[in-house]
Amino acid sequence: MAAANKKIVLRNYVTGFPKESDMELVATGTAPSRVPEGTDGAVLVKNLYLSCDPYMRPRMSKNDGSSYVDGFVIGEPITGYGVGKVVDSSHPGFKAGDYVWGMTGWEEYSLIKNPSKALFTIRHPELPLSYYTGLLGMAGFTAYIGFHEICAPKEGERVFVSAASGAVGQLVGQFAKLMGCYVVGSAGSDEKVRLLREKFGFDEAFNYKKEKDLSLALKRRFPEGIDVYFENVGGAMLDAVLLNMRVRGRIAACGMISQYNLERPDPVHNLTAVVTKRLRIEGFLVSDHYGKYREYEEKAARYVEEGKIAYVEDVAEGLENAPAALIGLFSGRNVGKQVVVIAR
Amino acid sequence: MAAANKKIVLRNYVTGFPKESDMELVATGTAPSRVPEGTDGAVLVKNLYLSCDPYMRPRMSKNDGSSYVDGFVIGEPITGYGVGKVVDSSHPGFKAGDYVWGMTGWEEYSLIKNPSKALFTIRHPELPLSYYTGLLGMAGFTAYIGFHEICAPKEGERVFVSAASGAVGQLVGQFAKLMGCYVVGSAGSDEKVRLLREKFGFDEAFNYKKEKDLSLALKRRFPEGIDVYFENVGGAMLDAVLLNMRVRGRIAACGMISQYNLERPDPVHNLTAVVTKRLRIEGFLVSDHYGKYREYEEKAARYVEEGKIAYVEDVAEGLENAPAALIGLFSGRNVGKQVVVIAR
């Protein structure tokens, strides 16, 4: 009997904080070895690494039409970014043996029907492949676009990054340092704060859970105010940041992880600062910018080779541990980029 | 004995809703007729029309350093935009008899020491001079810059304007109609709503005080969502708008009049929409754009001459009535642009 294709499926839509029991491991069908006859332009991918990302939380909820991403389908494998190896292809742009990253399924093998829209071939397979779930893939490119394009930073400006030890935050801080900015990050444990200072080279870092007054915590680190805020958390942190922004400051709204599990989002009181300080707050979606990805891939690969960028991953072993790894993001259990290894 | 120079001075800093008794009319000194000897580069202006604008409210509070405008000085005349006639000048750019608009005092005569920074000469004195407190001056230029530059509108887009019958709002709506947009406005009385529909040509308008659910009120008028929001009010309206914005929508944050009298600003809950819908929210200050004012002045003057723009003023007579006129803005008592006539 051929081996089954193991998958993680969503059992039900989620309200509030997700639980492991909202997902389950199922082993159905047969692990495929070929693109089915008559399926043109598809690739069969053996998944190696899966990426756990905060944006996946809204996909677990019933989509009321307001979200930017489609919801997951009950009973179907969860989808997300991952790294894999092409096993078979009926698409001229991909061939067996290619390493790829992009949108795949939480399963051992995925048949990708629109690979030119979903996948990028990996041009630097000599680097750790798992980096293409983060630094060299979506998270890294998100940090790059969000910081360089949306924040429009200038040398010497004062930059604040929340969730700063996460997949995106750790890179934003390092890109900002490479540009000659003053960079402060916040995170949710002393261990992460230490990473920010010692490994990622942030000028300053603090544990937001230990600060009674977030606005004062920022004022101490930014006595002259914040020029650029890279927003990953939302809620109370955003409110405190608004009080500390400088005139003509810019806020790239990359994510608001503190809000995704709340049925009623936290209040933000200080938006008049947008008027009085002429702020710009801008959301963005990395896939709108993929035209610049190859340029980024080369630049980031060079940074890695030259040791100019430090990168920390939190690696969970085995598809069966993927649900816990994903949920861990929302309590901040991960230290660095959360990856799941299916196969190496 | 020569006549005194009557002035409206601020008696005390204001917390909460301003009262007439926070200001007083005083008649001190002597109405000047010349720029004092030895004062180079100044002009003496006889003030004719004063402008009442929402941004003046924050100036009445003790400035904690976070505001974009300096506070008023206790015991000194209130300052604001106005229209006047140059009585005497020791500045080469101005001469007696010139009509000017710009930053002046709430008094019969003002000595302006930096006129090239504070004043514009009026190039269309054949048009109603009071229009230079609004349509042809700061408010009109604010509407123009805020809409055309900050909102970056496209023909056919769906535009929402709050406080839409006010000095800025009525013009934003008309600029949007001239561009071929679908335009909806909100206001605080049925009379104003009628003005929006019948005089200013808005496609739709509603009285926000009569709507139980602002989000539903918007959804009815924008079943496909809002592309552009011109923000004049803040608070609950902004929260409702965020729920109804379309992907890649733009919000020009011109003012938040509903918030200026609150000690604790209203909560806004729906900012995750900035991420999920890739919104841009941007504050701006019209004086950053004055390099384009002359181009606007010509365009707006032509609109007035050709009858392409309707414009409604609410005119209070006499300096003594200026405090009540200013305060009326915050309860929405004015219908259209609030002007105070000192002399014609």
Q: pLDDT tens digit string along A21-35?
A: 999 999 988 888 999
pLDDT of B262 reads 87
Question: Do A163 and A279 share a domain, yes or no?
Answer: yes
Considering only CB atoms, which chain B residues are within 8 Å of A266? 269
Pairing of strands B119-121, B109-112: unpaired
Residues B130 and B142 in one domain: no
The pLDDT-based confidence of B66 (bands split at 50, 70, 90) is: low
- Name the residue with tokens 């409702």: B240
Q: Do A272 and B285 touch (CB under 8 A)?
A: no
pLDDT band at A68 (very low <50, low <70, confident <90, very high): low
Confidence band (pLDDT; 50, 70, 90) for A296?
very high
Report yes or no on A259 lying in a domain: yes
- Quote ipTM for the complex: 0.91
When pLDDT is averaged across residues B61-84 and rounded to a whole number, the result is: 85
Distance from C-alpha of B301 to C-alpha of B140, rounded to nearest angstrom: 11
Q: With an 8 Å Cβ cutoff, are B269 and A267 in contact? A: yes
Are B269 and A271 an interchain contact pair (Cβ–Cβ within 8 Å)? no
**Considering only CB atoms, which chain B residues are within 8 Å of A256?**
271-272, 275
CA dist B109 and B227 (Å) reads 45
pLDDT value for A262: 87
**What are the tens digits of pLDDT across the range B278-323?**
999 999 999 999 999 999 999 999 999 999 999 999 999 999 999 9
Q: Is residue A64 over pLDDT 70?
A: no
The verdict on residue A304 lying in a domain is no
Which residues of chain B lie closer than 8 angstroms to A238, CB-CB? 271
More confident of the two residues B2 and B116: B116
Residues B190 and B219 in one domain: yes
State yes or no: pLDDT of A66 exceeds 60.
no
The shortest C-alpha distance from A227 to chain B (Å) reads 14
Q: Does A276 reach chain B within 8 Å, measured CB to CB? A: yes
Domain count, chain A: 2
Q: Is A58 on the interface with B (CB under 8 A)?
A: yes
The pLDDT assigned to B172 comes to 98
What is the nearest CA distance from B80 to chain A, expressed in angstroms?
17
- First CA to last CA distance, chain B: 24
Say whether B271 and A256 touch across the interface (CB within 8 A).
yes
Kindly state the average pLDDT of the residues B64-77. Answer: 79
Closest Cα partner for B175 from B198, B194, B190, B157? B157
B278 has a chain A CB within 8 A of its CB: yes
pLDDT beyond 90 at B4: no
pLDDT (average), residues B21-42: 91
Cβ <8 Å between A265 and B269: yes
pLDDT for residue B261: 85
Q: Is residue B117 part of a domain?
A: yes
The predicted structure's pLDDT at residue A260? 85
Q: Do B282 and A284 touch (CB under 8 A)?
A: no
Half-sphere exposure of A205 (CA within 13 A, CB side): 26
Q: Which chain A residues touch B58 with a CB distance below 8 Å? A: 276
As a whole number of Å, the end-to-end CA separation of chain A is: 24
Residues A280 and A336 in one domain: no
Distance CA A183, CA A205 (A): 9
Tell me the residues of chain B between 223 and 242 that have a Cβ less than 8 Å away from chain A. 234, 238
Both B156 and B200 in one domain: the answer is yes
Nearest to B277 among A238, A271, A283 (CB): A283
**Final residue of a structural domain among A268, A286, A304:** A286
Mean confidence (pLDDT) of chain B? 95
Instruction: Check: CB of residue B337 under 8 Å from CB of residue B134.
Output: yes
Over 70: is that where the pLDDT of A315 sits? yes
Whether A1 has a pLDDT exceeding 60, the answer reads: no
Q: What is the 3 state secondary structure string of chain B?
A: CCCCEEEEEECCCCCCCCCHHHEEEEEECCCCCCCCCCCCCCEEEEEEEEECCCCHHHHCCCCCCCCCCCCCCCCCECEEEEEEEEEEECCCCCCCCCEEEEEEECECEEEECCHHHHEEECCCCCCCHHHHHCCCCHHHHHHHHHHHHHCCCCCCCEEEECCCCCCCHHHHHHHHHHCCCEEEEEECCHHHHHHHHHHCCCCEEEEHHHCCCHHHHHHHHCCCCEEEEEECCCCHHHHHHHHHEEEEEEEEECCCHHHCCCCCCCCECCCHHHHHCCCEEEECCHHHHHHHHHHHHHHHHHHHHCCCCCCCEEEEECHHHHHHHHHHHHHCCCCCEEEEECCC
CATH number at residue B172: 3.40.50.720
- Tell me the average pLDDT across A132-159: 97
Tallying the residues shown for chain A, one arrives at 344
Q: Could you tell me the pLDDT band of residue B28, with boundaries at 50, 70 and 90? A: confident
Question: Quick one: pLDDT at residue A167?
Answer: 93
Q: Are residues A147 and A190 located together in one domain of the fold?
A: yes
Q: Considering the domain boundaries, does residue B305 fall inside one? A: no
Q: In terms of domains, do A179 and A241 share one?
A: yes
Separation in Å, CA of A245 to nearest CA in chain B = 9
Size of interface A-B (CB pairs under 8 A): 111
Is there a contact between A274 and B282 if contact means CB atoms under 8 Å apart? yes
Specify whether B20 is located in the same domain as B55: yes
Asked if the model's pLDDT at residue B67 lies above 80, the reply is no
CB A265 within 8 A of CB A236: no
Does one domain contain both A164 and A85? no
pLDDT at B270: 96
C-alpha A248, offset from chain centre: 27
In this structure, how many other beta carbons lie within 10 angstroms of the beta carbon of residue B1? Answer: 4
B253 has a chain A CB within 8 A of its CB:
yes
Answer yes or no: do A283 and B279 touch at CB < 8 A: yes
For the segment A194-207, what is each residue's pLDDT rounded down to a tens digit?
A: 999 999 999 999 99
DSSP 8-state class, residue A70: P
Structural domain includes residue B296: no
Residue A2: per-residue pLDDT: 62
**Residue A117 lies inside a defined structural domain of this protein:** yes
Q: Would you say residue A239 has pLDDT above 90? A: yes
Same domain, B98 and B217: no
Give the residue numbers spanning the domain of B45. 5-134+312-341
- Does B123 share its domain with B186? no
pLDDT at A67: 59
Asked if residue B2 has pLDDT above 70, the reply is no
Has residue A151 got a pLDDT over 90?
yes
Question: What percentage of chain B reaches a pLDDT higher than 90?
Answer: 89
Is the per-residue pLDDT at A50 higher than 80? yes
pLDDT for the residue A165: 94
Same domain, yes or no, for B50 and B70? yes
Position B63 scores a pLDDT of: 74
pLDDT at B70: 79
Instruction: With CB atoms and an 8 Å threshold, state whether A274 touches B254.
Output: no
What's the CATH number where A43 sits? Answer: 3.90.180.10
Helix/strand/coil for A333: coil
Q: What pLDDT sits at residue B45?
A: 97
CA nearest B265 in A: which residue?
A269
Nearest CA among A7, A140, A141 for reference residue A76: A7
- Tell me what the pLDDT averaged over chain A comes to: 95
Burial of B246 per CB tally in 10 Å (0-12, 13-18, 19+):
middle
Given B255, B265, B276, which is nearest A66 (Cβ)? B276
The verdict on a CB contact (< 8 Å) between B275 and A269 is: no
Residue of A nearest to B250 (CA): A282
Sorted by sequence, the CB contacts under 8 Å of residue B92 that are 6+ apart come out as none
Could you tell me which residues are beta bridge partners of residue B111? B44
pLDDT at A173 exceeding the cut of 90:
yes
Torsions phi, psi for A203 (to 5 deg): -70, -35
- The answer to the question of residue A16 being in a domain is yes
- Please indicate, yes or no, if residue A167 is contained in any of the structural domains: yes
